[in-house]
C-alpha cells in the first residue's frame, strides 16, 4: 500500500466529523449509522494498515527546510493505533445510548469522530513536529466535548484543560526547537540523537528533554501537572472514558515514549540525571494518584485519579530506557486502556441509569445492575493486579523491568508501584464490596428505579471484560506484537 | 560662564520642551493641550536653529559679490533652517487638524475637558449594556 | 538602465498624486481611483520584490539632483521590498474587506477625504519603509499620524472623536520625542542620511566621545517610536482607537500602522545607530522586557474583555509584544522573527478585524459578546476566518502563527542566558492566554442554534440579508487573507530567505 | 514437587501450576478436616444468622482457594491463590453487615493486600534474580545473578516474609486480626483463626525454604530480625489477650501469639524447630478452632460475649466448658495434651541453633508466654465452673449434637494427638526433612 492510505485513514474520520454538523441529521438512526460506518471503516482500515504495511512512509509537506509533515507506520505507533482502533467502535456504540438525553448530538459526534482521526495522526506521525500538530489539534477537538453540556462547571473544566494542554504543548514545542537548533533530528529513528551530542551541549539536550518530558507530561497527567484530568470528568462519560482514559492521556504518554526512544535514545538517557529526575516524578505521581483516588468520593473523579496514577506506571516503564521497560510500558498502555475504559463505562452506566455520582451512593447496586458490576469487579481485580487478569501481567512486566534496571530510582518506582497496588485495591474494592454487600438495615430503597443498562452499553462492557480475561490468560500474540517495537527503538536488537 | 551662555539656546530649548510636554500630558483642557504641543514643537525648532547658527557668519543666501569674498566657512549651516521650516509646516498642519477635531468634540460633548468626555462615554457604555 | 530603481519613488509619488486628484473627483470615482492606485502600488512592490529575489542588488535612489550627503535618498533592498508589498497588499484587502462598513460609517461628503487619507497613509508607510533620510522619516511620521487619525475619526461618533483625540496626542508626543532625537543626532554628526550618520557615529564611538548625548538620542528614539507602535505600557490609547474605528480602518491601524513604526525603529537601530553600538546598549534589554510584559498584559486584558473589537485591539498589544521581544533579543534571528511576526500579524489581525465587521453585521451592529452568539454560523466567511485566526494564534503548523512561534522560539533558544529564559516563559504564558480568549470567542460565535440574529430588530435583519448577498468584495478579501496566512505558513522558507537576505544587507 | 499440573501457561516464565509435596499435603489435610468439622458445626449455628446461602458459598470458595494454595507449585500460583483467598474470605468477615464488621473487613482487606503486595515484591526479584519461579527445595536464587546485590535480596526477602506474615498475624502487620476475627460469625472466626492464618505460615515456609533458600538467609540479619519480630509477636499477643475481656477477641489475640510460635520455628531453620513449627501448626489449628467453636456455642445460646459474664455458665453447659478446659490445657502446653510436644521441639530447636542471645531468649519468651496463656485461658473455665459466692444463677443450656459433635471431636484430638503423637510426628519429620 502506498503512503496515501495513511492520509486517508487519518482524514476519513476528520472529514466525516466535520461534515456531521453540516449534514445536521435529525433522525437518530441515520446519525448512528453514519457515525458507526465511518468509525468502523476507519478502524478496519487502520488495523489492516498496522498489520499489513509497516514501514510505509508519506512525506506530506516540507514545511521549512528542517521541518517536514510526514507519516510513517511503525510498530510503536501501531500499538497505540491498535488500542484506539479497538476501543473507538465500542465507545461509539456506548455513546449512542449515553448521549440520548443530551442536546446537540450532531456536534458531539462530529468532534468525537474527528478525535479518532487526530489520535491516529498522533500514532502515525513520523516526526515530533507532525506529532505536535496532531497533539494540539487533539486538544482543540476534545475541548468542545468537555464543555458539551454548557454548564458553568464544564466551562471552568474546559478552560483548565485548555490552559494545561496548551502550556504543555508549548513547552514541548520549545524543547523540540532546542533539539533542532543543536543539531538533533526530530525524525523518529533508531539512532536517536546519535552523534549530535557532545560534551558541550549535553546540558542543553538535558534541558530540552525536561521541557519535552514535562510538556508532554501534562497530557500524561504527571504531578504537578495533572490538575486538569479530575476536573475534566464533568464531560459526558464516553468522553471521559475514551479520551481521558485512553486517547488523550495516552497520546501524552505515547509522546514521552517517542521522545525517550526515538528522538533521544536509551543510551543517552540510561543513568543520566534527567532520567533519575523524571523517574522520581513518575514514582511520586504513582503514589499521589492512588492516594488521591482513595480519598475521592466522586465516582468518576476517583477513576480519574486512578488514571493519573496508572499513566505514570507507563511513564515510569518508558523512562527506564531498557528494552523490557519499553515493552512493559506498551503492555500497560494497552491493558490500562481496556481496564480503565471498562471502569468508566460502568460509572457512566450507573450515572445514566440512576443519576448517582458518588461511590457512597452505590449500596447494593450489584443487585440492580448485575452485568455492569460483574464487569466492574473483573476490571477492578485486573487493575489491582490479580493474576491471571491482564493488569497483573503488565504490572509484573513493569516491576520486572525496574528490578532488572536496578538503580535506586528504579527501586523507588518499584516501591511506589507496590504502595499504589494496595491503594488501588482499597479504592476499587470498597466500591465492589458496597455494591455486593450492602450490610444490615438495607432495604433496597435506593434501587427503586434502577435497572440494568441496555445492550448499547452492556455489549461493549462485556466485550471489554472478555478482552481483559482473555488477554490476561493468553497474552502471547500481543506480547509478540509489542516486542516487534524493540527493533525500531534499539539499534542492536 | 561663557560656556553656559554659549549653550543658552539649548538650555532654553530643553526647558521649553519640558514645559510643552507637561502641558500636553497634564492639561485637561484640549485647547491648552494643543498650546502645549506648539510650545514643544517650538522648542525643538529653537534647538535646531541654534545648532545651525555659527558665530560671525552670514546667511548662505548672501552672494559672494556683495561681500567681496567667497569663503564658505563664513556661512551659517543652511540645513537646520530648512528643517525648521519644514517642521513649522508640519506643526501648523497638525495644529489645524487638532483644532478641527476639538471643534467636533465640542459640538458632540459640549465640553473641552478630556476627562469629562471620557466620563460621558463611559456612561453611554453602561447604558448600552443595560 | 532598468525601471526597477524607480519603483520606490514612483510608488510613493503615485499614491500622493492620486490622493490629491481624489480631492476633486466625485466620490465613486475617487473610490475607484484609490483602489487602482493601491493595486498599482501592490503590483509595483511585488515586481520589486521579485526583482530582488532574482538577484537585484541593493540600490539607493537620490531624490532631486543633490547627491549625498546633502540630498534626500531612498534605499531599497529585499526586506524593504517585502515589507512594502505586504503593506500595500494588506491595505488593499482591508479596504475591500471593510467596504460595506465604509458605506455605512462614513458620510457621503467625507468619502473622498477617507480615500485621500488612505492613499496618504499608504504613501507615508511606503516612504517610511524606503527612506534613507531621518528628517524625511520625521515628516512622513507626521503625515502618518494625521492620516491615521483621519481614518479613525472619519466615522463620526463620539467614541471615535474622543479616541482619535487621545490617539493624536499620544502620537504627537511620540513624534516630538522622535524629532528631538533626530535633532540631537544631527547635532552630533552633522548628517541626516542614515548611512552617513552611522559612519560618523562609529567614528565618534570609537573615540569615546559624546556617549551621553548618543544615549539620550537612542532612548528618545526608542520611547518615541514605541509610543507610536503601542509597546506596553505606552499602549493605553490603542484599544479605544482601534475598536471604535470602521472595520477597514481598524484593520489597517492594527495590521499596518503600528508595524511601520516598528520597521522604522529597526531601521534606526541597525542602519542609523549601527549593530555594534546598539548591541552594547541597554535599550534592547528594555525593549525585550517591555515586549514580554506586553505579550502578557495585552493577553490578560484581552482575556477579560467582552467586546469583540476591543479584544482584538488588546490582542494586538500582545502581538506587538512578540515583535519587540524578537527585536529585543538583539540577534539577526531575533529581528527576523520580529519581522515574520510583522507579516503574520498584519495578515491575521487585518483579517480578524474585517471578519469582526462581518460578524457585527450579522448581529445587528453590536460588537458585544452577548449579541454575537451564533454569528459565525450566520456569516460563514467570518466564522472560518476566526477559526483560521485562532489556529494561527495558537501556533498550529500550516498556519502563519506557527512560523512566528517557530522563529521566535528558535531565536530565543539560541540567545541563551536570562533573555532565553524570560522569552521562553513569556511565550508559554502568552500562548496559553491567547489560546483561551481566541477559543472563547470562536466558541461564542458558533454557539447557539439559531440561524438569524437573536437580538437584531426586523429592519436590521432585512438589511443584513441584503448586505450578505451583495458583499462579494468582503468575501474575496477574507478568502485572500486566509490564503495569505496559509501561504506564510506553507512557504515560510522563502519568506525567511528574503528576510535574511534583506537583513544581511540592511545596515 | 511431584505431579506438577500446568493449568495455564501465560508466558514463558509465568504459568499457573499445581503440584503436591509433603508440607502441602499436610496443610491440605489439616485445612480440609477443620473445614468439614466447622462446616458441620455451622449447620446449627446458621440459625443464628441471615444470608446463609451467601455464607456457605464463600465458606466453600475460601476452602477451594486455600486448598489450591496448599498445592500451588510456583510463586505466581501461590500469590494468585493468596489474593483470591483474601478476597473470598472477606465476605465471611463482613457477613453480619454491621458497621463494625464492614470496617473490620476493610481493615482485613487492607492488611492482606498490603502484605500480598510485599510478597509480590519478592516475586519480582525472584523473577529477575532466580532461575525459576517454581518451588524448589534449597531455593531458586541464582548465585551468579545476585552477586553484589546480596543486600537488596536480603531486604526483599525480609519484606516479602513480613508481607505474608500479615496473614499470620505477625507484628507489625497483625492489627487486622483482633479486629476481624471477633466480628465474624463463630464458624468463620474458627477457620480464619485456625486455618487461614496457617496459609500465611505456609507461604512463609515456601519462601524461606523453597525460594530464597536457607543457605542464603541462615545467620544473616534477616533471620535475627524475623526471630525478634516473632518473639515480639508471641509476647505481645499473650499480653494483649491477657488484658482483653471480650472472649472472641481474647482468642484472636491468642492466635496472634500462637501463630508466631509456629513462625519462630520456621525462622529458626533447623529440623527440630521446623518439626515443632509444623506440629504446633496442627495443634493450634485444632485447639483454636475448638476454642472459637466453644465461644460460638456460648454466644449462640446465651448471647454472652464477655469473659466476665461467664460466671457460673460451666454448670449449665458442662460439656462445652469441659472441652474449653481441655483446649486451654492443650494450648498452655501441659503434658500430655497436644501443645506440649510442639513447644518442646520449638524450644529445643531454638536452643540447638546457637544464635547468640536468641538461643536462650526464645525459650524464655515461650515459657513466659505459656504462663500468660494459662493466665488468660484458665480464668474462663474457673469462672464458668466456680462462680463466686452470691452470684446470680446463670442462664443457658447445652447445645445440640451438631454443635457439640465437632467440639468433642476436636477435644478428643487434642488429647489423643498429645498422647499418641508419634505417627503425626514421623510424618511431619519427613516433611521437615524434605524442606531442608
Q: Count of CB atoms within 10 A of residue A150's CB?
A: 11
Spatial separation of the C-alpha atoms in residues A98 and A87, rounded to whole Å:
16
Contact criterion met (CB below 8 Å) for D293 and D405:
no
Q: Domain boundaries in chain B?
A: 2-129
Residue to test with chain A: of D17, D87, D126, D180, most A Cβ within 10 A: D87
Beta-strand pair C72-76/C59-63 = antiparallel
- Where do runs of H (alpha helix) occur along A61-104? 75-98
Q: Quick check: D11 and A437 CB within 8 A?
A: no
Mean pLDDT for the stretch of residues D35-50: 82
Number of folded domains that form chain D:
1
Kindly report the nearest CA distance between residue A178 and chain C, in angstroms.
6
Model confidence over A261-295: pLDDT tens digits?
A: 888 888 888 888 888 999 999 999 999 999 999 88
Compute the average pLDDT of residues A65-91.
88
C76 to each of A327, C200, C415, D24, how far by Cα in Å? 60, 22, 29, 96
Specify the pLDDT at position B63: 63
D387: cell is 462462680
Q: What would the pLDDT profile of D257-282 be if each residue is shown by its tens digit?
A: 888 888 888 888 888 888 888 888 88
Higher pLDDT, D388 or A44: A44
Q: What are D29's three cell numbers?
A: 489435610
Q: Is A407 on the interface with D (CB under 8 A)?
A: no
Spatial separation of the C-alpha atoms in residues C448 and A108, rounded to whole Å:
14
C-alpha cell at C403: 512560523
Task: Out of A173-177, B15-19, C472-476, C485-489, pick the least confident.
Answer: C472-476
Across A163-172, average pLDDT: 89
Tell me the CB-side half-sphere exposure of residue D197, using CA atoms within 13 A: 37
Contact of chains A and D by CB distance (3 or more pairs under 8 angstroms): yes
Instruction: Check if the beta carbon of residue C136 is closer than 8 Å to that of residue C264.
Output: no
Q: Classify strands A57-62 and C59-63 as parallel, antiparallel or unpaired.
A: unpaired
> Does the pLDDT value for residue A259 go beyond 50?
yes
Q: Is the pLDDT of residue D156 over 60?
A: yes
Instruction: Quote the CA–CA distance of A62 and A67 in Å, as a whole number.
Output: 6
pLDDT band per the 50, 70, 90 thresholds, residue C466: low
Residue A466 has a pLDDT of 92
Number of domains present in the structure of chain C: 1
Q: Which residues in chain B touch residue C110, judged by CB atoms under 8 angstroms apart?
A: none
Q: Which domain holds residue D380?
A: 2-435
Instruction: Give the DSSP letter string of C345-391.
Output: HHHHHHHHHHHHHHHHHTTTT--BGGG-TTHHHHSHHHHHHHHHHHH
> How confident is the model over A210-230, as pLDDT tens digits?
999 999 988 888 888 888 888
Residue C454 pLDDT > 50? no
Burial D300-336 (b: 16+ CB within 10 A, else e): bbbebbebebbbbbbebbebbbbbbbbbbbbbbbeee
Pairing of strands A68-72, A57-62: antiparallel
Q: CB of A344 within 8 A of CB of A321?
A: no
Intra-chain end-to-end CA distance of chain D, in Å? 14
> What are the tens digits of pLDDT across the range C40-64?
999 999 998 888 888 888 888 877 6
Instruction: Show the cell assigned to C450.
Output: 439559531
| Contact of chains A and C by CB distance (3 or more pairs under 8 angstroms) | yes
Interface of A with C in 143-172 (CB under 8 A): 143-144, 147, 159, 162-163, 166-167, 170-171
Task: Provide the 3-class DSSP secondary structure of residue D43.
Answer: helix
Predicted local distance difference test score (pLDDT) of residue B71:
64
According to DSSP, the residues that pair with D246 across neighbouring strands are: D306
Q: Cβ contact (<8 Å) for D113 and A422?
A: yes
pLDDT-above-90 percentage for chain C? 16
Chains that touch B (3 or more CB pairs under 8 A): C
Could you tell me how far CA A132 lies from the centroid of its own chain?
16
CA distance B69 to chain C (A): 24
**Does the pLDDT of residue C450 top 60, yes or no?**
no
ipTM over 0.90: no
Residue with cell 478502524: A43
CA–CA distance, C272 with C98 (Å, rounded to integer): 37
Closest residue to B17, CB basis, from C153, C169, C180: C180
Asked if B104 and C159 come within 8 Å (Cβ–Cβ), the reply is no
**What is the pLDDT at residue C460?**
56
Provide the 3-class DSSP secondary structure of residue D17. strand
pTM for this one? 0.85
Average pLDDT score over residue span A176-188: 83
Question: What's the rounded Cα separation, in Å, for the pair D103 and D109?
Answer: 10
In a domain, C224, yes or no: no
Distance CA C304, CA A251 (A): 32
pLDDT of residue C455: 46
Per-residue model confidence (pLDDT) at position D132: 84
Whole-number pLDDT of residue C344: 92
Cα–Cα separations (whole angstroms), residue D320 to A331, D181, D311? 58, 20, 14
Average pLDDT, integer, range C423-440: 89
Cβ–Cβ under 8 Å, residues A335 and A253: no
Percentage above 90 pLDDT, chain A? 14
| DSSP per-residue codes, A311-347 | HHHHHHHHHT-SHHHHHHHHHHHHHHHHHHHHHHHHH
Task: Tell me, yes or no, whether C465 lies in a domain.
Answer: yes
Distance CA C191, CA C134 (A): 9
Q: Which of 1.10.150.170, 3.40.630.10, 1.10.287.3510, 1.20.950.20 is the CATH number of B2-129?
A: 1.10.287.3510
The pLDDT, as a whole number, for residue A457 is 85
Residue among A297, A300, A472, A437 nearest A365 (CA): A437
C488 belongs to a structural domain = yes
Domain membership flag for residue C159 = no
The Cα D275–Cα D425 span in angstroms is 8
Listed residue (A140, A143, A142, A113) closest to A11, CA to CA? A113
- Give the gap in angstroms from C-alpha A146 to the nearest C-alpha of chain D: 35
B33 inside 8 A of chain C by CB: yes
CB pairs under 8 A between B and C: 86
Give the three cell numbers for residue D283: 495443634
Q: What is the DSSP code (8-state) at residue D130?
A: B
Which of D289, D250, D245 lies closest to D34 in space, CA to CA?
D289
Instruction: Tell if the CB–CB gap between B120 and C70 is shorter than 8 Å.
Output: no
Across the interface, do C427 and A174 touch by the CB < 8 Å criterion?
yes
For residue D354, pLDDT over 80 is answered with no
Q: Do C368 and B129 touch (CB under 8 A)?
A: yes
Residue C359 belongs to domain spanning: 282-507
Cβ-proximal residues to D123 (8 Å cutoff; 6+ apart), any chain: A396, D75, D76, D79, D133, D160
As a whole number, mean pLDDT of residues C222-243 equals 86
Report residue D396's pLDDT band, with 50, 70 and 90 as the boundaries.
low
Look at D102 and A387 and tell me if their CB atoms are within 8 Å. Answer: no
Lookup result for grid cell 490445657:
D329
Q: Cβ of B118 and C162 within 8 Å?
A: yes
Residue C417 domain-assigned (yes or no) = yes
What pairs with residue C131 in β-bridges? C74
| Res. D181: pLDDT tops 80 | yes
C-alpha C278/C-alpha C268 separation (Å) is 10
Short-list C192, C214, C176, CA closest to C134: C192
Give mean pLDDT, residues D197-217: 88
CB C328 within 8 A of CB C420: no
Q: From chain B, pick out residues whose CB is under 8 angstroms from the CB of C363.
A: none
The DSSP bridge partners found for residue B58 are B75
Beta bridge partners of A69: A61
Mean pLDDT of B52-71: 65
Q: What mean pLDDT is predicted for residues D166-179?
A: 86
Query: Residues of chain D whose C-beta is under 8 A from some C-beta in A?
Result: 8, 10-11, 14, 16, 76, 79-80, 83-84, 87, 90-91, 94, 96-99, 102, 105-106, 109-110, 113-114, 117-118, 120-121, 123-125, 127-129, 149, 152
What's the CA angle centered on C257, arms C254 and C262, to 5 degrees?
A: 105
What does the H/E/C string look like for chain B? CHHHHHCHHHHHHHHHHHHHHHHHHHCCEHHHHHHHHHHHHHHHHHHHHHHHCCCCCECCCCCHHHHCCCCHHHECCHHHHHHHHHHHHHHHHHHHHHHHHHHHHHHHHCCCEHHHHHHHHHHHHHHHHC
Q: What is the mean pLDDT of chain C?
A: 84
Shortest Cα distance from A369 to chain D (angstroms)? Answer: 18
What pLDDT is stored for residue C323 in this prediction? 92
Cβ contact A328:A397 at 8 Å: yes
For residue C33, is pLDDT > 80? Answer: yes
Amino acid at each position: 500500500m502506498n503512503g496515501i492510505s495513511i492520509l486517508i485513514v487519518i482524514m476519513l474520520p476528520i472529514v466525516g466529523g466535520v461534515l456531521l454538523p453540516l449534514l445536521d441529521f435529525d433522525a437518530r438512526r441515520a446519525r448512528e449509522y453514519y457515525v458507526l460506518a465511518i468509525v468502523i471503516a476507519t478502524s478496519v482500515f487502520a488495523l489492516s494498515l498496522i498489520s499489513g504495511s509497516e514501514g510505509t512512509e508519506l512525506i506530506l509537506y516540507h514545511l521549512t527546510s528542517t521541518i517536514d509533515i510526514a507519516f510513517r507506520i511503525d510498530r510503536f505507533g501501531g500499538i497505540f493505533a491498535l488500542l484506539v482502533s479497538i476501543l473507538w467502535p465500542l465507545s461509539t456504540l456506548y455513546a449512542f445510548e449515553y448521549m440520548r438525553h443530551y442536546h446537540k448530538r450532531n456536534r458531539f459526534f462530529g468532534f468525537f469522530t474527528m478525535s479518532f482521526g487526530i489520535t491516529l495522526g498522533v500514532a502515525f506521525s513520523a516526526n515530533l513536529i507532525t506529532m505536535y500538530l496532531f497533539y494540539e489539534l487533539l486538544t482543540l477537538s476534545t475541548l468542545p466535548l468537555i464543555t458539551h453540556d454548557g454548564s458553568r462547571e464544564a466551562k471552568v473544566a474546559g478552560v483548565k484543560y485548555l490552559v494545561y494542554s496548551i502550556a504543555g504543548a508549548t513547552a514541548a514545542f520549545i524543547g523540540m526547537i532546542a533539539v533542532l537548533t543543536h543539531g538533533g533530528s526530530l525524525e523518529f529513528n533508531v539512532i536517536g540523537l546519535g552523534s549530535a551530542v557532545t560534551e558541550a551541549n549535553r546540558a542543553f539536550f538535558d534541558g530540552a528533554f525536561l521541557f519535552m518530558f514535562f510538556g508532554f507530561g501534562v497530557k500524561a497527567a504527571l504531578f504537578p501537572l495533572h490538575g486538569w484530568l479530575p476536573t475534566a470528568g464533568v464531560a459526558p462519560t464516553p468522553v471521559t472514558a475514551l479520551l481521558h482514559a485512553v486517547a488523550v492521556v495516552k497520546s501524552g504518554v505515547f509522546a514521552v515514549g517517542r521522545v525517550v526512544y526515538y528522538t533521544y535514545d536509551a543510551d543517552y538517557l540510561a543513568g543520566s540525571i534527567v532520567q533519575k529526575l523524571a523517574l522520581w516524578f513518575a514514582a511520586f505521581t504513582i503514589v499521589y494518584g492512588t492516594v488521591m483516588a482513595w480519598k475521592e468520593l466522586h465516582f468518576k473523579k476517583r477513576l480519574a485519579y486512578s488514571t493519573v496514577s496508572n499513566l505514570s506506571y507507563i511513564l515510569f516503564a518508558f523512562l527506564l530506557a531498557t528494552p523490557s521497560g519499553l515493552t512493559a510500558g506498551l503492555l500497560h498502555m494497552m491493558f490500562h486502556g481496556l481496564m480503565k475504559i471498562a471502569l468508566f463505562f460502568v460509572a457512566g452506566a450507573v450515572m445514566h441509569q440512576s443519576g448517582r455520582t458518588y461511590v457512597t451512593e452505590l449500596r447494593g447496586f450489584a443487585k440492580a445492575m448485575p452485568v455492569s458490576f460483574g464487569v466492574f469487579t473483573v476490571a477492578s481485580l485486573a487493575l489491582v493486579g490479580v493474576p491471571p487478569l491482564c493488569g497483573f501481567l503488565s504490572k509484573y512486566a513493569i516491576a520486572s523491568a525496574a528490578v532488572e534496571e536496578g538503580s535506586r530510582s528504579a527501586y523507588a518506582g518499584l516501591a511506589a508501584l507496590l504502595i499504589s497496588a494496595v491503594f488501588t485495591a482499597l479504592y476499587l474494592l470498597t466500591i465492589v464490596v458496597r455494591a455486593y454487600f450492602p450490610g444490615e438495615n438495607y432495604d433496597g430503597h435506593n434501587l427503586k428505579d434502577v435497572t440494568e443498562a441496555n445492550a448499547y452499553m452492556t455489549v461493549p462492557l462485556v466485550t471489554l471484560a472478555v478482552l481483559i480475561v482473555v488477554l490476561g490468560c493468553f497474552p502471547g500474540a500481543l506480547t509478540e506484537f509489542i516486542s516487534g517495537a524493540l527493533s525500531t527503538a534499539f539499534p542492536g536488537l | 560662564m561663557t560656556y553656559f551662555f554659549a549653550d543658552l539656546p539649548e538650555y532654553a530649548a530643553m526647558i521649553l520642551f519640558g514645559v510643552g510636554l507637561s502641558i500636553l500630558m497634564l492639561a485637561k483642557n484640549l485647547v491648552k493641550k494643543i498650546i502645549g504641543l506648539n510650545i514643544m514643537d517650538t522648542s525643538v525648532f529653537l534647538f535646531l536653529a541654534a545648532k545651525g547658527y555659527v558665530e560671525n557668519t552670514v546667511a548662505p543666501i548672501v552672494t559672494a559679490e556683495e561681500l567681496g569674498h567667497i569663503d564658505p566657512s563664513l556661512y551659517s549651516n543652511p540645513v537646520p533652517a530648512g528643517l525648521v521650516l519644514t517642521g513649522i509646516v508640519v506643526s501648523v498642519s497638525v495644529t489645524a487638524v487638532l483644532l478641527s477635531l476639538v471643534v467636533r468634540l465640542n459640538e458632540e460633548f459640549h465640553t473641552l475637558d478630556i476627562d469629562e468626555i471620557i466620563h460621558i462615554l463611559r456612561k453611554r457604555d453602561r447604558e448600552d449594556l443595560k | 538602465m532598468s525601471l526597477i530603481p524607480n519603483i520606490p519613488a514612483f510608488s510613493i509619488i503615485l499614491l500622493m498624486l492620486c490622493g490629491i486628484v481624489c480631492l476633486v473627483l466625485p466620490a465613486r470615482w475617487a473610490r475607484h481611483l484609490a483602489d487602482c492606485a493601491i493595486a498599482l502600488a501592490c503590483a509595483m512592490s511585488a515586481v520589486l520584490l521579485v526583482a530582488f529575489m532574482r538577484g537585484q542588488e541593493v540600490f539607493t535612489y537620490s531624490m532631486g539632483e543633490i547627491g549625498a550627503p546633502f540630498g534626500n535618498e531612498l534605499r531599497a533592498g529585499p526586506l524593504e521590498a517585502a515589507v512594502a508589498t505586504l503593506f500595500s497588499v494588506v491595505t488593499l484587502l482591508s479596504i475591500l474587506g471593510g467596504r460595506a462598513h465604509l458605506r455605512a460609517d462614513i458620510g457621503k461628503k467625507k468619502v473622498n477625504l477617507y480615500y485621500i487619507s488612505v492613499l496618504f497613509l499608504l504613501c507615508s508607510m511606503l516612504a517610511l519603509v524606503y527612506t534613507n533620510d531621518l528628517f524625511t522619516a520625521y515628516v512622513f511620521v507626521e503625515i502618518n499620524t494625521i492620516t491615521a487619525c483621519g481614518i479613525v475619526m472619519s466615522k463620526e461618533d463620539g467614541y471615535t472623536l474622543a479616541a482619535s483625540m487621545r490617539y493624536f496626542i499620544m502620537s504627537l508626543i511620540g513624534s516630538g520625542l522622535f524629532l528631538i532625537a533626530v535633532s540631537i543626532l544631527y547635532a552630533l554628526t552633522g548628517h541626516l542620511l542614515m548611512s552617513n550618520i552611522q559612519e560618523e557615529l562609529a567614528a565618534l564611538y570609537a573615540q569615546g566621545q559624546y556617549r551621553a548625548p548618543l544615549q539620550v538620542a537612542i532612548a528618545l528614539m526608542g520611547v518615541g517610536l514605541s509610543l507610536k507602535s503601542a509597546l506596553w505600557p505606552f499602549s493605553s490609547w490603542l484599544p479605544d482607537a482601534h475598536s471604535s474605528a470602521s472595520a477597514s480602518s481598524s484593520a489597517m491601524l492594527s495590521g499596518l500602522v503600528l508595524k511601520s513604526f516598528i520597521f522604522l525603529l529597526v531601521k534606526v537601530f541597525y542602519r542609523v545607530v549601527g549593530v555594534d553600538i546598539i548591541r552594547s546598549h541597554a535599550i534592547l534589554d528594555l525593549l525585550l522586557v517591555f515586549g514580554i510584559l506586553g505579550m502578557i498584559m495585552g493577553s490578560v486584558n484581552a482575556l477579560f474583555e467582552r467586546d469583540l473589537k476591543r479584544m482584538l485591539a488588546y490582542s494586538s498589544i500582545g502581538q506587538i509584544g512578540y515583535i519587540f521581544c524578537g527585536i529585543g533579543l538583539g540577534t539577526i534571528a531575533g529581528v527576523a522573527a520580529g519581522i515574520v511576526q510583522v507579516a503574520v500579524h498584519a495578515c491575521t489581525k487585518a483579517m480578524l478585524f474585517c471578519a469582526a465587521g462581518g460578524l457585527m453585521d450579522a448581529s445587528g451592529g453590536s460588537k458585544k459578546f452577548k449579541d454575537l452568539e451564533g454569528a459565525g454560523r450566520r456569516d460563514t466567511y467570518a466564522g472560518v476566518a476566526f477559526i483560521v485566526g485562532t489556529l494561527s494564534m495558537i501556533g498550529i503548523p500550516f498556519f502563519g502563527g506557527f512560523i512566528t512561534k517557530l522563529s521566535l522560539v528558535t531565536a530565543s533558544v539560541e540567545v541563551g542566558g536570562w533573555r532565553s529564559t524570560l522569552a521562553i516563559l513569556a511565550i508559554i504564558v502568552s500562548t496559553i492566554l491567547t489560546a483561551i480568549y481566541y477559543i472563547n470567542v470562536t466558541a461564542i460565535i458558533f454557539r447557539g442554534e439559531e440561524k438569524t440574529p437573536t437580538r437584531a430588530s426586523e429592519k436590521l435583519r432585512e438589511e443584513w440579508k441584503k448586505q450578505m448577498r451583495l458583499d462579494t468584495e468582503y468575501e474575496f478579501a477574507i478568502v485572500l487573507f486566509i490564503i495569505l496566512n496559509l501561504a506564510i505558513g506553507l512557504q515560510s522558507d522563502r519568506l525567511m530567505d528574503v528576510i535574511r537576505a534583506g537583513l544581511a544587507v540592511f545596515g | 514437587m511431584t505431579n506438577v499440573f500446568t493449568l495455564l501457561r501465560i508466558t514463558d516464565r509465568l504459568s499457573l501450576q499445581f503440584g503436591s509435596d509433603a508440607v502441602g499435603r499436610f496443610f491440605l489435610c489439616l485445612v480440609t478436616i477443620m473445614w468439614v468439622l466447622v462446616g458441620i458445626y455451622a449447620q446449627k449455628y446458621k440459625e443464628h444468622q441471615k444470608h446463609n446461602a451467601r455464607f456457605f458459598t464463600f465458606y466453600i470458595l475460601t476452602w477451594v482457594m486455600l486448598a489450591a494454595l496448599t498445592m500451588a507449585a510456583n510463586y505466581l500460583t501461590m500469590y494468585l491463590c493468596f489474593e483470591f483467598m483474601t478476597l473470598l474470605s472477606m465476605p465471611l468477615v463482613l457477613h453480619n453487615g454491621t458497621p463494625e464488621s464492614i470496617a473490620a473487613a476493610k481493615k482485613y482487606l487492607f492488611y492482606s493486600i498490603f502484605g500480598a503486595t510485599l510478597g509480590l515484591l519478592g516475586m519480582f526479584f525472584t523473577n529477575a534474580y532466580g532461575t525459576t519461579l517454581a518451588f524448589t527445595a534449597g531455593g531458586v536464587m541464582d548465585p551468579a545473578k545476585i552477586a553484589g546485590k546480596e543486600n537488596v535480596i536480603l531486604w526483599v526477602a525480609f519484606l516479602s516474609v513480613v508481607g505474608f506474615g500479615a496473614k499470620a498475624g505477625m507484628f507489625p502487620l497483625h492489627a487486622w486480626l483482633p479486629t476481624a476475627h471477633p466480628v465474624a460469625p463463630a464458624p468463620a472466626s474458627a477457620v480464619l483463626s485456625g486455618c487461614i492464618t496457617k496459609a500465611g505460615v505456609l507461604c512463609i515456609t515456601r519462601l524461606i525454604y523453597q525460594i530464597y533458600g536457607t543457605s542464603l538467609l541462615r545467620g544473616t540479619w534477616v533471620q535475627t530480625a524475623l526471630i525478634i519480630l516473632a518473639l515480639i509477636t508471641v509476647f505481645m499477643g499473650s499480653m494483649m489477650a491477657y488484658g482483653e475481656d471480650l472472649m472472641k477477641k481474647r482468642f484472636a489475640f491468642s492466635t496472634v501469639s500462637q501463630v508466631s510460635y509456629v513462625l519462630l520455628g520456621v525462622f529458626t531453620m533447623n529440623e527440630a524447630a521446623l518439626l515443632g513449627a509444623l506440629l504446633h501448626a496442627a495443634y493450634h489449628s485444632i485447639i483454636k478452632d475448638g476454642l472459637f467453636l466453644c465461644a460460638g456455642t456460648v454466644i449462640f445460646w446465651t448471647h454472652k460475649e464477655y469473659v466476665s459474664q461467664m460466671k457460673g455458665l460451666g454448670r449449665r453447659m458442662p460439656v462445652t466448658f469441659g472441652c474449653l478446659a481441655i483446649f486451654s490445657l492443650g494450648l498452655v502446653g501441659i503434658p500430655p495434651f497436644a501443645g506440649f510436644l510442639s513447644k518442646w521441639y520449638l524450644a529445643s530447636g531454638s536452643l540447638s541453633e546457637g544464635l547468640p542471645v536468641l538461643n536462650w531468649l526464645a525459650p524464655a519468651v515461650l515459657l513466659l508466654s505459656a504462663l500468660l496463656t494459662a493466665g488468660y485461658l484458665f480464668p474462663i473455665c474457673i469462672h464458668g465452673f466456680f462462680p463466686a459466692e452470691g452470684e446470680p444463677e446463670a442462664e443457658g443450656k447445652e447445645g445440640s449434637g451438631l454443635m457439640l459433635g465437632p467440639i468433642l471431636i476436636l477435644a478428643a484430638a487434642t488429647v489423643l494427638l498429645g498422647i499418641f503423637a508419634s505417627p503425626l510426628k514421623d510424618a511431619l519429620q519427613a516433611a521437615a526433612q524434605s524442606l531442608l
